[in-house]
């Protein structure tokens, strides 16, 4: 959609508009800002290489989210990541505890719950929209959201409420 | 805690200044690289034939010359495209997306997954011509741009696979990559589907049924032959290229856009990269297909 912009302007537009969103989403997978930034760069490069035409800003954003999720999954599944566990994570895994760090608890959720939680609560997407972005049924997304929410309630001191 | 606590926590995650610089630099580089693509040698409507690769999951990683990388991970199969890996899928369906986590999880060691690409050509010299930005004509097939010049058969082509996945393939990568060929050989016994022909609403359809619960390859070539007295003659036929995952027991219809005169025919369905074809014989009588 923004193809009317010249190349440099388009790059600037993309960076300004989506950098934070993509890095933050990727972070929920990588738990590392550096890795999340690497993924975000890859996402942007893919966008340029594909010369993708979008019907609307929403379409563009949804595509970027999808690509980010896929790249993040890819990253997490990589052999390097699989073989390494951050010291901090290893320590937290060793002790069951209630936490007051909501971000830490969200990123500790199983991947599918974490993504849905993030898209629902942070990006403000509806279940239907998330289902479309992730290519899942609304029922599946609804279930993941409910389970993720329940896990957060169990893990967080003071539970977790929508409002 | 509430969702606002989460939003506040996430808001604290800020990309670094270095990120913006590096991202911008990489995007500019990508943009420059893209403009080097030129219309080149030949139409590769069936680029799949040369480049759809199958690799048995053996725990190895094969990086083959057409730009696809097949990786076996955790006894799961996955297909990666060097350019875009799993993100090749978009919000619709796509083949590469079919090999995303969920699908890969169904594919255990010894089974196969496919990647393929179709695409437009890129000149061997990569220098002249106009930028060729090939959009996938359908979600399953790239719109191949026929080109006029007579570049050699080994001309590098830039294939835009389904969903604008850009990768590079060479015209015949399979012939000079022993590792890759080994992978193909190892999977040659994989016969996941059955095919038949039906007519419906005056059109002929190839029905493909997944009998295995596995992915159906998207790198299908179809060849239509007439035959009589043991001889056969190939009929040029426009068959929509297929790209889909067909659930177990389900069928996928592929319309055959051709009018057939009376006679006997069969469809040969060739699985690219595999030593396997499925054939389906049928006859046409009074303009109707008789199975």
Asked if the Cβ–Cβ distance from B85 to A122 is below 8 Å, we say no
Gap between the Cα atoms of A26 and A24, Å rounded: 5
Gap between the Cα atoms of B121 and B128, Å rounded: 12
**What stretch(es) of chain B map to CATH 2.60.40?**
191-290
Mean per-residue pLDDT for B265-278? 44
CATH hierarchy code of domain A85-163 = 1.10.10.10
Mean per-residue pLDDT for A14-18? 93
Nearest to A74 among B1, B24, B85 (CB): B85
What confidence tens digit (pLDDT) does each residue in B161-213 have? 222 222 222 222 222 222 222 222 222 223 334 555 555 555 455 555 544 44
Topology of domain A1-84, per CATH?
Answer: Rna Polymerase Sigma Factor; Chain: A (1.10.1740)
Q: Is the pLDDT of residue B107 over 50?
A: no
What pLDDT score was predicted for residue B262? 58
Gap between the Cα atoms of A28 and A120, Å rounded: 13
Residues of A in contact with B7 (CB under 8 A): 121-122
Gap between the Cα atoms of B156 and B188, Å rounded: 27
Around Cβ B9, how many Cβ atoms within 10 Å?
18
- Helix, strand or coil, per DSSP, at residue B32: helix
- Helix, strand or coil, per DSSP, at residue B99: coil
DSSP run (H or E) holding B71 = strand B68-73
Most confident of B22-36, B169-183, B265-279: B22-36
Asked if the Cβ–Cβ distance from B27 to A73 is below 8 Å, we say no
What pLDDT score was predicted for residue A116? 92
Topology of domain B191-290, per CATH?
Answer: Immunoglobulin-like (2.60.40)
Per the CB < 8 A criterion, the answer to whether B162 and B96 are in contact is yes
Q: Does the CB of B60 have a partner CB in chain A at under 8 Å?
A: no
Which of A46, A64, A145, A157 should be substituted to probe chain B, the one whose Cβ sees the most B Cβ atoms within 10 Å?
Answer: A46
Gap between the Cα atoms of B272 and B241, Å rounded: 12
Gap between the Cα atoms of B229 and B247, Å rounded: 38
Residues of A in contact with B5 (CB under 8 A): 102
CA of A67 to nearest chain B CA: how many angstroms apart?
5
Its ipTM equals 0.84
What confidence tens digit (pLDDT) does each residue in A58-117 have? 888 988 998 888 888 877 765 444 444 443 343 334 334 455 688 888 888 888 889 999
Q: Where are the domains of chain A?
A: 1-84, 85-163
φ, ψ at B105 (rounded to 5°): -65, -20
Residues of A in contact with B83 (CB under 8 A): 46, 49
HSE of B13 in the Cβ direction (CA atoms, 13 Å)?
Answer: 25
Reported as a pLDDT band with limits 50, 70 and 90, residue A160 is confident
Q: Which of residues 116-135 of B touch A (CB under 8 A)?
A: 133, 135
**Do strands B68-73 and B76-81 pair parallel, antiparallel, or not at all (unpaired)?**
antiparallel
DSSP run (H or E) holding B68 = strand B68-73
- Helix, strand or coil, per DSSP, at residue B130: coil
Gap between the Cα atoms of B157 and B42, Å rounded: 8
Q: What are the percentages of helix, strand and coil residues in chain B, rounded to 5?
A: 20, 35, 45
């Amino acid at each position: 959609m923004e193809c009317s912009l010249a190349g440099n302007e388009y790059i600037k537009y993309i960076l300004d508009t989506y950098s934070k969103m993509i890095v933050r989403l990727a972070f929920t997978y990588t738990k590392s800002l550096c890795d999340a930034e690497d993924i975000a760069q890859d996402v942007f490069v893919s966008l340029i290489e594909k010369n993708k035409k979008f019907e609307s800003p929403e379409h563009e954003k949804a595509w970027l989210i999808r690509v980010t999720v896929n790249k993040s999954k890819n990253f997490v599944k990589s052999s390097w990541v699989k073989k390494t566990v951050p010291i901090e994570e290893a320590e937290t895994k060793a002790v069951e505890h209630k936490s007051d760090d909501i971000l830490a608890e969200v990123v500790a959720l199983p991947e599918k719950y974490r993504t849905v939680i993030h898209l629902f609560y942070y990006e403000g997407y509806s279940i239907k929209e998330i289902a479309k972005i992730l290519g899942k049924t609304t029922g599946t997304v609804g279930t993941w959201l409910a389970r993720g929410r329940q896990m957060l309630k169990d893990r967080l001191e003071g539970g977790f409420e929508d409002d | 805690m509430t969702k606002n606590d989460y939003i506040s926590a996430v808001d604290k995650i800020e990309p670094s200044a270095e990120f913006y610089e590096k991202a911008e630099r990489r995007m500019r580089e990508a943009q420059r690289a893209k403009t080097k693509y030129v219309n080149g040698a030949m139409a590769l409507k069936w680029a799949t034939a040369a480049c759809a690769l199958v690799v048995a999951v053996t725990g190895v990683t094969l990086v083959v010359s057409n730009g696809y990388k097949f990786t076996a991970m955790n006894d799961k199969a996955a297909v990666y495209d060097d350019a875009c890996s799993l993100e090749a899928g978009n919000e619709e369906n796509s083949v590469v997306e079919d090999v995303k986590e969920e699908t890969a999880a169904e594919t255990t060691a010894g089974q196969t997954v496919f990647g393929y690409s179709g695409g437009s050509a890129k000149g061997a010299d990569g220098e002249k011509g106009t930028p060729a930005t090939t959009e996938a004509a359908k979600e399953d097939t790239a719109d191949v741009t026929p080109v006029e010049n007579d570049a050699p058969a080994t001309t590098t082509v830039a294939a835009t696979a389904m969903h604008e996945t850009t990768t590079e393939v060479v015209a015949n990568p399979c012939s000079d990559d022993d590792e890759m060929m080994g992978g193909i050989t190892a999977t040659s016994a994989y016969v996941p589907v059955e095919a038949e022909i039906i007519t419906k609403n005056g059109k002929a359809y190839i029905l493909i049924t997944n009998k295995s619960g596995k992915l159906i390859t998207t790198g299908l070539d179809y060849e239509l032959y007439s035959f009589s007295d043991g001889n056969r003659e190939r009929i040029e036929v426009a068959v929509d290229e297929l790209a889909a995952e067909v659930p177990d027991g389900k069928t996928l219809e592929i319309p055959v856009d051709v009018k057939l005169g009376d006679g006997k025919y069969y469809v040969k369905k060739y699985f690219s990269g595999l030593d396997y074809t499925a054939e389906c014989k049928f006859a046409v009588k009074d303009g109707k297909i008789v199975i």
